[in-house]
Structure 1
Amino acid sequence: MADTFQKGTSLVHEDRLFPANLDMRDIARRLYSEVKDLPIISPHGHTDPSWFANNAPFGNPAELLLAPDHYIYRMLYGQGISLDALGVPSKAGNPDTDPREAWRIFAENYYLFRGTPSRLWLDHVFNEVFGLSEPLDGSTADAYYDVINTALQSDAYRPRALFDRFNIELLATTECPTDTLDHHKTIQSSGWGGRVISAYRPDAVIDADHERFQAALDEFADITGEETRSWTGYLAAHRKRREDFKAIGTTSSDHGHPTAFTADLGAAEAEALFDKVVAGKGTAKDHELFRGQMLTEMARMSVDDGLVLQIHPGSCRNHNGPLFQSHGRDKGADIPMQTDYVHALRPLLNAFGNDPRLSIIVFTLDETSYSRELAPLAGHYPALKLGPAWWFHDSPEGMRRFREQTTETAGFYNTVGFNDDTRAFLSIPARHDVARRVDCSFLARLVAEHRLREDEAQELARALAYDLAKAAYKL
């Protein structure tokens, strides 16, 4: 069995995602050869900073690769496999699940991922990170488990060693305003050279529909020393925490609101709205108005402190009510929904969209808005840029559609390259590799159609893989 699991290439083809047309494929190969080894800039994601602070060995294969990854278990759950059987934690804690048995269930159902981006990422991880070359299925499940489990116990597979091996120049995690940031402080004082920063994600203290809103406001007061149930104290608490985040390297805030709605109320009106919402007397319309006002307030603060403003709207979160009750947030039940940007962003853009001190990056889960709304907006407002294809569209076809629908109006330089936005640490190199291959293939077509010179395409390939993200996130 050991010989079967030597490093090979059967899981990942060297020309994967390149054009079928041979002339275009040759161009794509040349472009890719110039960018494939560039360092990884990962400016927005959800990995755990404690991994890099403590540098403890990762757990078993199921705990590392299966239980935390909603891309994987949502597919299995949709086929009738319970989250408990996969070892996914619930509100009651970790289920009493044999991790090897959970892995076997995953392996036996791996065929479900044919044609999906998860299959691309996982095969890359299995092949390139662990040296596995046999396909994963029920017959190879135990051998896979043993190889990965043995590797995870070695120093070469500790978080910092993998960070360095993956050639990550910068990795941003995401923390809430009530986080102490102790893990980041430990990383900074450790003497390790890896650069791990955070993003300021204040949803829990902004979204009155969040189940922890009231408790989070109290925690916000405790950690800042401000009176967070008064409008002036609440805004002061945000400013104070943003400075705390900047002190550990943070360059962006992030906002996962249901919609892109923004508002620009007068001071008295905003304070009255705040008082109503905090008192628990707000309607659903009031909650939406408050979220919209706070996006504008965050933009106002960004003008002062320089944090890049990321807006991630358009997800109907926790669509599966019973699953939310049993297992909580982020369990694969968030569903994309139609999103308006033209009218929703107008108050914010009229207030700050022409200010060169502000940088706004907007993402979408509504692909129909790319050519109709987002590309024209980003092609006009100096402060606005487009985030890459995100979440459900972080895929080869999603990336191609993004380029096809935005480039003619917004160009390449009103976009911000690629970010992986993942909790699955080991998939980061795979995700960036997919993006680089897809972009090189798109550029190869433009070269083959004589719409770009190849030297221009080479410059663009580097920009999309590295330069644009570094510039957009002020890194």
Structure 2
Amino acid sequence: MAARPLVLDDDRLLPVDPAVRAIAREVHARVRDLPLFCPHGHVDAALLARDEPFADPARLLVVPDHYVTRMLVSQGARLEELGVPGTGGGPVERDGRAVWRRFCAGWHLFRGTPSRLWLEQELHDVLGVRVHPSPETADELYDQLVERLAEPSCRPRALFDAFGIELLATTDAPADALADHAAIAASSWGGTVVPTFRPDAVVHLDRPGWRGDVEELGRAAGEDVGTYAGYLAALQRRREHFRRAGARATDHGHLSADTTPMERADAERAYAAALRGPLEPARAAAFAAHMLFESARMSREDGLVMQLHAGVLRDHDPLVRARSGPDRGFDVPVAVDFTRGLRPLLNAFGSDPAFRCVVFTTDETTFSRELAPLAGVYPALRLGAPWWFLDSPAAMRRFREAVTETAGFWNTAGFVDDTRAFASIPARHDVARRVDAGFLAGLVAGGQLALDEAVETAVALASTIPRAAYAPREG
């Protein structure tokens, strides 16, 4: 079978109607080459601190991307066969060519998915590939990509510069020493890579390994975490350490959006009980909600933007988590009540100019019913971009349709790529910019906006809005 050529349609994702498409082309042309501002993601800072060549195409495009691995797993592959290491040091495929062959054999599985869009653009624009992956082309492509990845222009820092990344935020554990960030800052390279404080490991009292993570937090902060007061002090010290290292934000992954604060004595008792042994789920959930409120209070004081990612049941399969660790693609969305959940937090801080909060969800039923009305009135609240299962072209369009009439554009926070797959960052931003160009073109064609307003709005969504949402607070 002849290899299928890999050609990118320059009008991909733009409206089908010729008149609207012509407007969308003009809007997109004004934003397609703007710098990439990336205030939330999961690229490992060590990648840029060490600046070593990528080992092989499988470890660049397959192993770190759980959008890719979860699709292959859904069709019978095992994570170990895809090069994803287990927590117990068991057998894992270390031959990059074998992993790549498995990926190429499953290329057809990605048809119609955003992963296909990202991967095609990575392969074509970044790596110079001109044929589609397939079982027949797998080995030839692998050899071609190994040669390409050995070139200096494919080193991580060179790609960072070529992508036009203005700022890249990582996501880091609260006790992280941030040594890689320090190494980047001390180097002669000019890239801006900043940490993000994610305290999830120490606020969910029923999380496996919670006590060990809290002890590590105490050591890193130089605080006695044997008491609730010491625990709070440790969190504040570590937040300050992150802020001094350039952090713009915190990040909180919670099943619920509940932010109900506890009485101080109740929080102290719950914390003490968790130190003694396992805590019942309801009490742990109440403490997690309380800590969201406490985190908002801390953000008001230190200026770090509070990001909340709510509505995902993490690690749905406990056997996969036990065998391969967390965050392996087995996350599943659940419904979220933002109206009642965020009420305590917003009543306390929602109109405070010192506080900023960006909310993300995978429950798109809340966009028009809850989140847009909340962001449309509380000055501190901004709507995060469609996330995880919603960062697809169709869902991005639905987001704009659902929230714009109530919240407008300036009550959103711009696009975030939220990825571990470094090479996919430009493609993800381009997809968002194309979708926004198409949406704005429809407003122009319908007589709701002038063309210059559409261009101005597209530039704002790609650049000025996210910069403002995540700007360091003066003082």
When normalised by structure 2's length, the TM-score is 0.97
Q: Tell me, yes or no, if structure 1 residue 102 matches structure 2 residue 99.
A: yes
Q: Which whole-Å CA distance do the structure 2 matches of 1:139 and 1:172 have between them? A: 38
Written as runs of structure 1 = structure 2, the 5 A alignment for 1:157-168 is 157-168=154-165
1:172-225 Cα offsets, whole Å, 9 max, x none, are 001011111000000000121000001100000111122121100111111111
User: What is the deviation of 1:281?
Assistant: 5.2
Partner in structure 2 of residue 78 of structure 1: 74
1:313-357 Cα offsets, whole Å, 9 max, x none, are 111111112211211111111101111111111111111111111
Q: Which whole-Å CA distance do the structure 2 matches of 1:154 and 1:313 have between them? A: 41
- Secondary structure of the 2:310 match is coil
Partner in structure 2 of residue 282 of structure 1: 279
Partner in structure 1 of residue 124 of structure 2: 127
Structure 1: which amino acid aligns with 2:177?
A: T
Q: Which whole-Å CA distance do the structure 1 matches of 2:276 and 2:404 have between them? A: 46
Partner in structure 2 of residue 224 of structure 1: 221
CA RMSD of aligned residues (A): 1.4
Q: Which whole-Å CA distance do the structure 2 matches of 1:83 and 1:275 have between them? A: 38
Q: Which whole-Å CA distance do the structure 2 matches of 1:103 and 1:208 have between them? A: 40
Q: Tell me, yes or no, if structure 1 residue 432 matches structure 2 residue 429.
A: yes
2:85 pairs, out of 81, 89, 109, with: 89
Partner in structure 1 of residue 329 of structure 2: 332
Q: Tell me, yes or no, if structure 1 residue 146 matches structure 2 residue 127.
A: no
Partner in structure 2 of residue 35 of structure 1: 31
User: What is the deviation of 1:279?
Assistant: 2.8
Q: Which whole-Å CA distance do the structure 2 matches of 1:247 and 1:212 have between them? A: 28
Q: Which whole-Å CA distance do the structure 2 matches of 1:101 and 1:388 have between them? A: 36
Structure 2: which amino acid aligns with 1:328?
A: G
2:207 pairs, out of 205, 210, 213, with: 210
Written as runs of structure 1 = structure 2, the 5 A alignment for 1:399-414 is 399-414=396-411
Q: Which whole-Å CA distance do the structure 2 matches of 1:96 and 1:105 have between them? A: 11
Q: Which whole-Å CA distance do the structure 1 matches of 2:32 and 2:277 have between them? A: 52
1:66-109 Cα offsets, whole Å, 9 max, x none, are 11111001111111112222111111336144211211111011
Partner in structure 2 of residue 343 of structure 1: 340
Q: Which whole-Å CA distance do the structure 1 matches of 2:282 and 2:201 have between them? A: 18
Q: Which whole-Å CA distance do the structure 1 matches of 2:229 and 2:274 have between them? A: 15
Partner in structure 2 of residue 364 of structure 1: 361
Q: Which whole-Å CA distance do the structure 1 matches of 2:207 and 2:145 have between them? A: 38
Q: Which whole-Å CA distance do the structure 2 matches of 1:25 and 1:96 have between them? A: 46
Structure 2: which amino acid aligns with 1:160?
A: R
Partner in structure 2 of residue 184 of structure 1: 181
Q: Which whole-Å CA distance do the structure 1 matches of 2:93 and 2:110 have between them? A: 26
Structure 2 unaligned blocks of 5 or more: none
Q: Which whole-Å CA distance do the structure 1 matches of 2:330 and 2:247 have between them? A: 29
Q: Which whole-Å CA distance do the structure 2 matches of 1:11 and 1:298 have between them? A: 47
Moved more, 184-193 or 206-215: 206-215
What percentage of residue pairs aligned between the two structures are identical?
49
Partner in structure 2 of residue 25 of structure 1: 21
Q: Is the 8 A contact 1:264 1:351 kept in 2?
A: no
1:261-301 Cα offsets, whole Å, 9 max, x none, are 11123333332332233333532111111111111111111
When normalised by structure 1's length, the TM-score is 0.97
1:68 pairs, out of 52, 58, 64, with: 64
- Secondary structure of the 2:251 match is strand
Q: Tell me, yes or no, if structure 1 residue 246 matches structure 2 residue 259.
A: no
Structure 1: which amino acid aligns with 2:439?
A: F
Number of residues of Structure 1 aligned to a counterpart in Structure 2 = 469
Q: Is the 8 A contact 1:17 1:437 kept in 2?
A: yes
1:299 pairs, out of 290, 296, 299, with: 296
Q: Which whole-Å CA distance do the structure 1 matches of 2:7 and 2:221 have between them? A: 50
Structure 1: which amino acid aligns with 2:328?
A: K
Structure 1 unaligned blocks of 5 or more: none
- Secondary structure of the 2:295 match is helix
